[in-house]
Chain A
Amino acid sequence: MGCVYEAAFSAPIQPKVDISYGVRHFSSPQIKQAPPASSERYRTSLYLSGELETNLEIDNYSFQGRLFANWDQNDEGRQYANIRQASTSARFDQFTLAGGVGTFFWGVSETINLLNTINQSDLSQSIDGKVKMGQSFISASYAFSDSQITLLHLPKFVELEYPDRPRSKLHIDQDNAIFEDRAGDGDFALRWESNLDLGEVAISLFQGTRRDPLLIPNALEHTTLIPYYLHTKYIAFDGLLFVGDAIIKSEMKHGQELDNNYYAFNLGVEYPTYPDSEYIQDITLIAEYLFDDREEYSETMGQKDIFFGGRGVLGQLGQIDLRTIMGIDLDNYSKYLDLSITHRLTDYIRWQGKGVWFIDVSKDDQRLSLIENEDFIEVSIHFAY
């Protein structure tokens, strides 16, 4: 018999706290073609943010919580709090029922995730939409031996919020957003995912309001854009294949918007290397190609883009994480460079740096041209335990 009995699968209840203080600096002082009120936008701003995360599991019941808050000296759009996660779940043999507010991640791509559309993006924290706001949900899952199927109901739609910076050159009238289908509240999603010996595969279905709106010019005010939220439905596949040391990844999506069929895919590869060095733990090379035949109606920054870059873990103690990605639009050769670094100074304190640059942006690139002068760098110091 066992020495000490504990509930199986019990997880630590110790909460995780991450508090950071940082500064962001934009390369240009104001935005061209902006209305007078917007031309005085700040260039440098201090910010304070915090995240509290806790998990509790008792037998077959669990609770997950994650609260995020940010205060920015000059940007009212970045003064907010958001419940990223406040969900409970109960497991009955192979069935799991869950509900509350959650953050989901679908997809395998490093750069742009075509499928990660359950949650609304948090543009205040990520210009590429990688960071997500919490989403209310109810779900039912059934676990097979090597796979799982989940049905999601998403009762409440949350509109995209735009910070003061980085932001479009034109004013975005968030208060007068238009919906193609006003019955936007109440989206459904279904996902089956499986782990194979040689990789992972998943098939997803989604029907509801598209999280990323089209920005259409206001007919009366030519300097204003109005968010237009489309109704969308799609079927998608994502998977990765382990081939030796390399990972081949793909996201594919076929759907319907504005009565038109569309398809989009992201195909990529990453290859890890382990140099024989005390100071380099590993370096992973990344290349991805994105195609979206919706072109200007696409829901991401890419339509026909290629990305390449890498991630690395450096330092004798593996205390430095480095990541850089360069994106190139193959239609007009606009470029986008993202560089980030995290350096753990002690077990509790780390500093992070991030820079985003838009290079040779073509006027034909409808998404990037709106934010072409929004290059910025930010540095923050974090205390976490």
Chain B
Amino acid sequence: MLKKVVPCLAITLMLSTTQIYAADTNQAKIGKDLAYKVDRRDQGYRDTSAQLTMTIANKAGNSTVRKLRIDILEMENEGDRSLMVFDFPADIRGTSLLSHPKFEGNDEQWLYLPSIKRTKRISSRNKSGAFVGSEFSFEDLSDKNVEEFTYKHLGTVSCQISTIESNTFPSIDQTCEKLQRVPLDKHSGYSRQVLTIDSGSYRILTIDYYDVRGNLLKTLVSENFQLFDEKYWRPLRVVMTNVQTGKSTTLEYETLDFSIGLNEQHFKRSSLRH
């Protein structure tokens, strides 16, 4: 009797393990496909130049305002390059961050501090550090490659999307996909991230960031989406809230221009000192 039970249990266990494995594999495949759809949605924009206001607030409600420019250049075989330059307040004017994300190897980021006339490289170990006192880490500000994460599709949920141009995309209830991604980089400041992506246009609406201990650390919410060039959606308001400290950082776009003719020369290290 026992001889019959053991093989039956073993077969049942193997079958259920295989089913779980197959389900996990399927969720991973759907998740990765979804990530590629989000990535492809944006292809072909060439470059953008934007002026933004950054508002940093603490739990007590005290806040400080910073004004900055962000130029981004679309790259083919590596992550999109970006150059951020602060114009306000006056005492940090000229502070600049240059990001060269790599598909292979570590991203390269350099921070120029005009007060000490020095360029600092952001090492991979410190990319979880706060950028100019904001709730954005250096890691958050670098373009992500699909292959930098493993994925798991968590399910389909209902969601709401706020858009500027309600005539082209009404602000109504939508269906969204919940996607979990786990960074492969051992130096990442996150154990996992959970994204909410609308099923129609593959816009990232929210990201929940979990710290290395697995606790929810920050939540990013993208709002006021606007369609540019009849193809590219951009949120004109992004809020990153640290749920552990109560601090938040809001980025609001004042201008956003596409395809103004930026090239690689604009994203060299020498541009940091301008």
Contact = CB atoms under 8 A, between A and B. Distances in A.
Answer yes or no: are A and B bound together in one complex: yes
B123 A242 contact: yes
A3 B46 CA distance: 12
Contacts of B126: 245, 272, 274
A379 to B, nearest CB: 16
8 contacts: A5-B257, A6-B257, A8-B260, A16-B93, A195-B270, A242-B123, A245-B123, A382-B91
Contact of A317 (B49, B56, B90): B56
Nearest to A313: B133
Interface in B222-258: 228-229, 245, 247, 255-258
Max chain A C-beta neighbours (<10 A), residue from B90, B116, B247, B257: B90
A384 B93 CA distance: 11
A282 interface: yes
A271 to B, nearest CB: 11
A25 interface: no
Contacts of A282: 129
A105 interface: yes
Interface in B98-123: 108, 115-121, 123
Interface stretch (A219-227, A330-338, A342-350, A361-369): A342-350
Given A200-B119, A385-B90, A6 B260 contact: yes
A14 B117 contact: no
A6 B91 contact: no
Nearest to A193: B270
A168 to B, nearest CB: 28
A170 B165 CA distance: 74
Given A105-B117, A317-B64, A16 B259 contact: no
B64 A347 contact: yes
Contacts of B65: 347
Contacts of B37: none
B125 A245 contact: yes
A342 B229 contact: no
Contact of B116 (A9, A14, A17, A110): A110
Nearest to A323: B116
A36 interface: no
A31 B69 CA distance: 51
A213 to B, nearest CB: 25
8 smallest A-B Cβ distances: which pairs?
A318-B133, A2-B259, A384-B90, A195-B269, A242-B121, A274-B129, A4-B257, A316-B58
Interface in A92-138: 105, 108, 110
Contacts of A17: 90
Query: How many B residues touch the partner, as a band?
Result: 35 or more
Contacts of A321: 115
Nearest to B90: A384
A245 B127 CA distance: 10
A1 B69 CA distance: 21
B245 A278 contact: yes
Query: How many A residues touch the partner, as a band?
Result: 35 or more
B274 A344 contact: no
A83 to B, nearest CB: 19
Interface in B48-77: 49, 56, 58, 62-65, 69
Interface string B157-199: 0000000000000000000000000000000000000000000
Nearest to B108: A197
A281 B133 contact: yes
A146 interface: yes
B247 to A, nearest CB: 7
B227 to A, nearest CB: 10
Contacts of A4: 255, 257-258, 260
B266 A317 contact: no
Contact of A3 (B58, B89, B257, B262): B257
A197 B93 CA distance: 26
Given A3-B256, A6-B257, A18-B90, 10 more contacts: A3-B228, A3-B257, A6-B260, A8-B262, A148-B270, A244-B125, A316-B58, A319-B64, A382-B91, A384-B89
A16 B89 CA distance: 9
Contacts of A14: 87
Nearest to A383: B90
B147 to A, nearest CB: 22
Interface string A300-324: 0000000000010101111101000
Nearest to A241: B121
Contacts of B58: 316-317
A200 B268 CA distance: 13
A14 B91 CA distance: 15
Contacts of B259: 1-3
Contacts of B120: 247, 272
Contacts of B228: 3
A12 B94 CA distance: 11
Contact of B258 (A2, A200, A278, A385): A2
Interface in A9-42: 9, 11-12, 14, 16-18
B261 interface: yes
Max chain B C-beta neighbours (<10 A), residue from A146, A272, A316: A316
Interface in A138-176: 143, 146, 148
Contacts of B115: 321
Contacts of A6: 49, 257, 260
A2 B260 CA distance: 6
A81 to B, nearest CB: 20
B20 interface: no
Nearest to B129: A274
B88 interface: yes
A281 to B, nearest CB: 6
A316 B56 CA distance: 10
B13 interface: no
Nearest to A346: B64
A178 B259 CA distance: 59
B102 to A, nearest CB: 11
Contacts of A344: 64, 89, 91
A110 B91 CA distance: 19
